[in-house]
């Protein structure tokens, strides 16, 4: 059995539309440097997100926590049923 000498190019595997989308995304992709203000705001937002869930649980009543947990469980099970 002959050995394969090379792998096919990624553009050969993709159909016309997938290849066009890949080219478009590569063309649009730009790297921009964030300003100091943007960096500070990003850090503040990330910090608030980490604190938010804990503080939310502290301020919720038992009934609100139960309702939130049921809703989350329903969402997880709905997602599991779709994939199965």
35-48 residue pLDDT tens: 888 888 888 887 77
Would you state the pLDDT for residue 10? 54
Q: 26: domain range?
A: 10-83
In a domain, 43, yes or no: yes
In a domain, 39, yes or no: yes
In a domain, 4, yes or no: no
In a domain, 5, yes or no: no
Would you state the pLDDT for residue 11? 47
SS3 per-residue string spanning 9-62: CHHHHCCHHHHHHHHHHHHHCCCCCCCHHHHHHHHHHHHHHHHHHHHHHHHCCH
Q: Looking at the predicted structure, is the pLDDT value of residue 3 above 70?
A: yes
Q: How many folded domains does the chain comprise?
A: 1
């Amino acid at each position: 059995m002959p050995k394969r000498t090379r792998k096919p190019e990624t553009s050969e595997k993709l159909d016309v539309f997938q290849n066009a989308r890949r080219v478009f995304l590569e063309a649009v992709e730009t790297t921009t440097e964030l300003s100091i203000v943007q960096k500070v705001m990003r850090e503040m937002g990330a910090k608030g997100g980490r604190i938010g869930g804990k503080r939310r649980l502290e301020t919720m009543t038992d009934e609100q926590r139960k309702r939130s947990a049921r809703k989350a469980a329903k969402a997880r099970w709905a997602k599991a049923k779709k994939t199965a």
